[in-house]
């Protein structure tokens, strides 16, 4: 396509080396500063005082114990959905399906409202439900990929939509609260995560999220299975030559991803005050976009479980502090502007990892277009025949 | 004043004395400024918290903002709006505002905020709250505002029933959202009104018309395509128009009506579009929107602020109907208001102001004056209490209303 592919790839490699040559932590900090500067310029142009706004953001995010608790509460589901994306990236695949898997997990967790059980057991049953539902929703695209070579990007995006509508159907018609039909049944007290800091949203679900992240770190870096997953991600051909069953690693990474996404849904249904239920009427106002936000968290966290913990704390802070920017002192910034600024910061911070992932993304795209081209060729041949 | 005081405060001419005096002068001025700004703060602040729908809907949320903003201007208060990006923001946003302790009143617009406010109101017993469309939050610091939507819907129902009979259509349609109790108020009122209208028509024309009610609960407040599909089905079954009882779905309903006109090659007359909540008559440049059953969220917000300012804050449930100006059927004055509202929101061009009113008036003239008079009679009856429109808040009650006013259903 391009006139000089050698020159293009040299340029790309140069950019790649400059960006990735920095220490990852330094790189993230530079990216964050660039993002904040872009946000500041945007706010300045539209007549808001960036200093006051950022001061509000900082204070709202980390200004005290209440603020820390709020930030951690918002970080909890993001840790889990970020793990979904990053495990599959480590295995060399793009799992865009966290959103749908999380919604199925949330619906499964709500089902604990249908029966009674003792306190801790009830909670554990709900988590198992959510994990199984997330895993089931994730394993179908994995099987399609392994058996038929269906691109997981396409299939997981499609499964997001199927999952969303199925979950909405369940929320509106099946596990609906008959007295308040705009929401699902309420998760009973016996199956809720206890609140850690009174007067905030922070519940014990944060321990679940951090625990899962640590387990994933251990699995990926300290077990044979994890080694195989990462090896298959780094170079599938070499891994297969080395005796690693790539189909098995694909299925495993998707299953693990589905489990974490399902648990993310459970942390909302069972750990988010005050409703402990999912609102179908507003089309899932608590759940929507957590799966996609998780992808940004994963990229900023360099697809490493420990990095994700740090990145999620940063994102949780952006969320919690961003709220405060709306009514801080004499410089209220409207929510729309706050979202623009957040978008600029997130984009700037994701760019280094995006560039690193670029070869893989490019491969995916080329494979996809190759399939299209082949199909067109066969069709034109058929036409001639 | 301070200058004179400062002058007399300097006995000698030495440098130190002058400095001391200068410092005093500074202190006095600072205190004065502080005093003035404190006075300014004492004038009070109100906050309005919106649900995920957010601003820009030209309906529920924008009206909540408009009413609070107007009240803040009239009573010289400072006002802030807090929007929620996700459902997880409801409780933290209310808490964040209440924690400052600076706000005389926090208004929560919409039933989605109900759970969050119920939790926050017990955490902040000294903070005054108001909430729209919720009637179950008890507590000495909360005003609950609900509307008697059955009254506005009765007026729309009467108009729809009579216009169907007049134009020889066999049905009138209602497209509703999720089947929640609030929507039963609408359905019950519409049934009563339609029945009333058909009786009035029979009395005027001397023969009983045969007009059925078509209604669908679409199960959504956000999927505009479903609203359009439901409307198309009703129009295909001979409906004279559709009454939108699902907020944003009205856009889809209106589209279906406009397409039906496109097929007929007409611009005015049936089928009609009946709007809800806001005055939606201006949708689509005033074509096809004949009347709206308005639910004045702005009035409720204004009343809440007024009550706090005048020290008449009254915890509990306040019900707003026709009498209190909380609900209404749209008239020409409201239309002008709402077109200006649309212009300020950027969804209507200022040049179209007169075009919209002209289109709307032309459309309204396709219904004879005596029908409009009959609607006014019903309104007067409800206002003076001689007519009581039934309502329904439970499944049993709506079943009873459906059984009493079958409107063509077997």
Indicate whether A351 pLDDT > 60: yes
Q: What is the DSSP letter of A186?
A: P
Shortest CA gap A345–chain B (Å):
17
Residues 6 or more apart whose Cβ sits within 8 Å of residue A235? none
Indicate whether B354 pLDDT > 60: yes
Indicate whether B17 pLDDT > 80: no
Q: Quick: pLDDT tens for A322-342.
A: 988 888 777 788 888 888 888
Q: Please state the rounded mean pLDDT for residues B191-198.
A: 95
Q: Quick: pLDDT tens for B206-259.
A: 888 999 999 999 877 777 889 999 999 999 999 999 999 988 888 899 999 999
Query: What percentage of chain A carries pLDDT values higher than 90?
Result: 58
Q: Please state the rounded mean pLDDT for residues A276-303.
A: 87
The closest CB to that of A324, out of B85, B88, B96, belongs to: B96
Chain A residue whose CA is closest to B110:
A282
Query: A270-274, B10-14, B377-381, B396-400: which range is least confident on average?
Result: B10-14
- 8 A C-beta contact, residue B160 and residue B194: yes
Most B CBs within 10 A among A169, A282, A320, A324, hence the mutation to make, goes to A282
Domains and CATH numbers, chain A: 46-369 (1.10.3470)
Q: Is the peptide bond before A70 cis (omega within 30 degrees of 0)?
A: no
The closest CB to that of B221, out of A281, A322, A327, belongs to: A281
Q: What is the ipTM of this complex?
A: 0.84
Chain A residue whose CA is closest to B177:
A281
Please count the residues of chain A: 385
Q: What is the DSSP letter of A22?
A: S
Q: For residues B43, B44, B48 and B49, what is the CA-based torsion angle, rounded to 10 degrees?
A: 160
Give the per-residue pLDDT at B410: 65
Who wins on pLDDT, A30 or B171? B171
Shortest CA gap B88–chain A (Å):
5
Indicate whether B37 pLDDT > 80: no
Please count the residues of chain B: 410
Shortest CA gap A274–chain B (Å):
6
Query: What percentage of chain B carries pLDDT values higher than 90?
Result: 63
Q: How many helices (H) and strands (E) does chain B have?
A: 14, 12
Q: What is the DSSP letter of B115?
A: H
Shortest CA gap A117–chain B (Å):
25
- 8 A C-beta contact, residue A266 and residue A127: yes
Test A199 with B51 for CB contact under 8 angstroms: no
Indicate whether B190 pLDDT > 70: yes
C-alpha span between A58 and A303 (Å, rounded) = 25
Element housing A79 (H / E): helix A65-90
Give the per-residue pLDDT at B14: 56
E-assigned strand segments in B127-258: 129-132, 142-147, 171-176, 212-217, 239-245
Test A273 with B91 for CB contact under 8 angstroms: yes
Domains and CATH numbers, chain B: 2-41 (no CATH), 149-270+366-404 (3.40.50.2300)
Give the per-residue pLDDT at B62: 86
Most A CBs within 10 A among B68, B69, B86, hence the mutation to make, goes to B86
Shortest CA gap B105–chain A (Å):
14
Q: Please state the rounded mean pLDDT for residues A261-286.
A: 89
Shortest CA gap B183–chain A (Å):
11
Chain A environment of B52 (Cβ under 8 Å): 282, 285
Query: A48-57, B282-291, B336-345: which range is least confident on average?
Result: B336-345
Test B82 with A289 for CB contact under 8 angstroms: no
Confidence of residue B33 (pLDDT cuts 50, 70, 90): low
Confidence of residue A6 (pLDDT cuts 50, 70, 90): low
Give the per-residue pLDDT at A167: 93
Test A274 with B119 for CB contact under 8 angstroms: yes
Chain B residue whose CA is closest to A172:
B219
Chain A environment of B99 (Cβ under 8 Å): 66
Most A CBs within 10 A among B37, B49, B90, B92, hence the mutation to make, goes to B92
Q: Quick: pLDDT tens for A162-220.
A: 999 999 889 988 998 877 777 899 999 999 999 999 889 999 999 999 999 999 999 99
Indicate whether B11 pLDDT > 70: no
Q: Quick: pLDDT tens for B308-329.
A: 999 999 999 999 999 999 999 9
C-alpha span between B356 and B338 (Å, rounded) = 11
C-alpha span between A41 and A33 (Å, rounded) = 12
Indicate whether B162 pLDDT > 70: yes
Q: Please state the rounded mean pLDDT for residues B82-98.
A: 91
Give the per-residue pLDDT at B5: 40
Give the per-residue pLDDT at B228: 94
The closest CB to that of A286, out of B88, B92, B96, belongs to: B88
Give the per-residue pLDDT at B340: 84
Chain A environment of B85 (Cβ under 8 Å): 319, 322, 335, 339
Give the per-residue pLDDT at A222: 93
C-alpha span between B66 and B60 (Å, rounded) = 10
Give the per-residue pLDDT at B168: 93
Q: Please state the rounded mean pLDDT for residues A106-135.
A: 95
Within 10 angstroms of residue A120's Cβ, the number of other Cβ atoms is 10
Chain A environment of B102 (Cβ under 8 Å): none
Test A274 with B118 for CB contact under 8 angstroms: yes
Residues 6 or more apart whose Cβ sits within 8 Å of residue A384? none
Q: Quick: pLDDT tens for B65-75.
A: 999 999 999 99
Biggest alpha carbon–alpha carbon distance for chain A: 75
Q: How many helices (H) and strands (E) does chain A have?
A: 14, 0
Indicate whether B88 pLDDT > 50: yes
Test B88 with A272 for CB contact under 8 angstroms: yes
Chain B environment of A287 (Cβ under 8 Å): 87
Residues 6 or more apart whose Cβ sits within 8 Å of residue B304? B71, B105, B107, B130, B143, B145
C-alpha span between B252 and B275 (Å, rounded) = 11
Residues 6 or more apart whose Cβ sits within 8 Å of residue A214? A305
Q: Please state the rounded mean pLDDT for residues A233-247.
A: 89
What token pair was written down for A103?
A: 């919604």
Q: Please state the rounded mean pLDDT for residues A144-172.
A: 92
C-alpha span between B116 and B102 (Å, rounded) = 20
Shortest CA gap A118–chain B (Å):
25
Residues 6 or more apart whose Cβ sits within 8 Å of residue A194? A203, A204
Shortest CA gap B395–chain A (Å):
9
What token pair was written down for B47?
A: 């906050």
Indicate whether B26 pLDDT > 50: yes
Chain B environment of A286 (Cβ under 8 Å): 86-88
Give the per-residue pLDDT at B40: 43
Most A CBs within 10 A among B37, B80, B85, hence the mutation to make, goes to B85
Shortest CA gap A174–chain B (Å):
13
Chain B environment of A326 (Cβ under 8 Å): 80-83, 93
* Placement of tokens 């259509």 in the chain: B169
Give the per-residue pLDDT at B8: 42
- 8 A C-beta contact, residue B393 and residue B181: yes
Indicate whether B2 pLDDT > 60: no
Give the per-residue pLDDT at B9: 42
Chain A environment of B84 (Cβ under 8 Å): 285, 335
Test A66 with B93 for CB contact under 8 angstroms: no
Chain A environment of B123 (Cβ under 8 Å): 199
Indicate whether B15 pLDDT > 80: no
Q: What is the DSSP letter of B242?
A: E
Q: Please state the rounded mean pLDDT for residues A235-240.
A: 88
Most confident of A5-14, A306-315, A369-378: A306-315
- 8 A C-beta contact, residue B333 and residue B172: no
The closest CB to that of B87, out of A60, A282, A335, belongs to: A282
Query: A14-18, A125-129, B380-384: which range is least confident on average?
Result: A14-18
- 8 A C-beta contact, residue B196 and residue B381: no
Test A326 with B219 for CB contact under 8 angstroms: no
Test A327 with B178 for CB contact under 8 angstroms: no
Indicate whether A14 pLDDT > 80: no
What token pair was written down for A79?
A: 């840790």
């Amino acid at each position: 396509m391009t006139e000089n592919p050698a020159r293009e790839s040299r340029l790309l490699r140069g950019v790649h080396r400059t960006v990735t040559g920095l220490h990852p932590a330094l790189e993230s900090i530079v990216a964050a500063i660039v993002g904040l500067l872009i946000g500041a310029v945007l706010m300045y142009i539209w007549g808001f005082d960036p200093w006051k706004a950022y001061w509000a953001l900082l204070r709202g995010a980390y200004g005290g114990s209440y603020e820390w608790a709020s930030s951690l509460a918002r970080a909890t589901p993001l840790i889990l959905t970020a793990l979904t994306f990053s495990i599959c990236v480590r295995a060399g695949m793009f799992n865009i399906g966290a959103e749908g898997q999380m919604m199925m997990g949330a619906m499964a967790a709500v089902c604990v409202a249908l029966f009674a059980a003792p306190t801790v057991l009830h909670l554990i049953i709900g988590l198992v439900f959510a994990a199984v539902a997330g895993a089931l929703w994730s394993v179908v695209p994995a099987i399609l990929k392994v058996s038929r070579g269906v691109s997981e990007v396409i299939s997981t995006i499609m499964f997001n939509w199927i999952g969303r509508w199925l979950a909405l159907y369940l929320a509106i018609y099946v596990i609906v609260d008959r007295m308040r039909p705009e929401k699902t049944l309420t998760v009973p007290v016996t199956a809720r995560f206890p609140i850690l800091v009174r007067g905030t949203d922070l519940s014990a679900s944060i321990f679940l999220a951090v625990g899962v992240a640590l387990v994933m770190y251990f699995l990926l870096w300290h077990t044979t299975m994890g080694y195989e997953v990462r090896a298959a991600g780094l170079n599938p051909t070499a891994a297969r030559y080395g005796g690693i069953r790539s189909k098995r690693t694909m299925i495993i990474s998707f299953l693990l991803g589905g489990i974490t996404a399902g648990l993310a849904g459970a942390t909302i249904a069972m750990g988010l005050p005050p409703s402990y239920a999912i609102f179908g009427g507003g089309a899932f106002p608590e759940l929507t976009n957590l799966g996609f936000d998780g992808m940004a968290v994963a990229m900023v966290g360099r697809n490493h479980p420990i990095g994700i913990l740090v990145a999620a704390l940063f994102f949780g802070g952006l969320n919690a502090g961003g709220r405060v920017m709306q009514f801080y002192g004499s410089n209220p910034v409207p929510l729309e502007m706050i979202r623009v600024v957040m978008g600029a910061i997130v984009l700037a911070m994701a760019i280094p990892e995006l560039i690193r992932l670029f070869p893989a993304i490019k491969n995916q795209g080329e494979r996809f277009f190759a399939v299209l081209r082949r199909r067109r060729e066969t069709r034109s041949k058929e036409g001639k025949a | 004043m301070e200058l004179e005081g400062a002058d007399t405060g300097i006995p000698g001419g030495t440098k130190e004395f002058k400095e001391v005096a200068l410092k005093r002068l500074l202190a006095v001025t600072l205190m004065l400024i502080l005093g003035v700004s404190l006075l300014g703060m004492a004038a009070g602040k109100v906050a309005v918290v919106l649900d995920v729908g957010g601003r820009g809907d030209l309906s529920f949320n924008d009206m909540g903002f408009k009413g609070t903003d107007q009240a803040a201007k009239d009573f010289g208060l400072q006002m802030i709006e807090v929007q929620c990006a996700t459902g997880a923001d409801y409780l933290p946003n209310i808490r964040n505002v209440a924690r400052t302790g600076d706000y005389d009143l926090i208004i929560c617009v919409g039933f989605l905020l109900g759970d969050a406010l119920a939790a926050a109101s017990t955490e902040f017993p000294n903070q005054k709250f108001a909430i729209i469309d919720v009637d179950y939050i008890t507590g000495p610091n909360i005003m609950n505002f609900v509307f008697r939507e059955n009254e506005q819907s009765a007026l729309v129902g009467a108009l729809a029933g009579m216009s169907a009979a007049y134009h020889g259509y066999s049905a009138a349609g209602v497209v509703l959202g999720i089947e929640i109790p609030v929507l039963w108020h609408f359905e019950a009122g519409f049934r009563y009104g339609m029945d009333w209208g058909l009786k009035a028509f029979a009395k005027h024309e001397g023969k009983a018309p045969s007009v059925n009610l078509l209604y669908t609960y679409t199960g959504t407040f956000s999927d505009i395509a479903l609203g359009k599909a439901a409307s198309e089905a009703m129009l295909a079954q001979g409906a004279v128009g559709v009454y939108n009882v699902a907020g944003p779905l009205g856009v889809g309903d209106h589209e279906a009506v406009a397409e039906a006109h496109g097929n007929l090659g007409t611009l005015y007359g049936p089928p009609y579009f009946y709007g809800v909540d806001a005055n939606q008559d201006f949708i689509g440049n005033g074509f096809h929107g004949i009347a709206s059953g308005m639910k004045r969220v702005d009035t409720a917000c204004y009343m809440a602020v007024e009550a706090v300012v005048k020290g008449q804050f009254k915890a509990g449930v306040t019900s707003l109907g026709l009498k209190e100006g909380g609900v209404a059927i749209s008239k020409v004055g409201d239309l002008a208001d709402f077109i200006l509202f649309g212009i300020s929101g950027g969804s209507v061009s200022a040049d179209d102001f007169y075009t919209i009113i002209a289109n709307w008036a032309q459309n309204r003239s396709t219904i004879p004056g005596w029908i409009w008079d009959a609607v006014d009679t019903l309104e007067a009856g409800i206002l003076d209490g001689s007519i009581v429109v039934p309502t329904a808040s439970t499944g049993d009650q709506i079943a009873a209303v459906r059984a009493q006013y079958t409107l063509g259903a077997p």
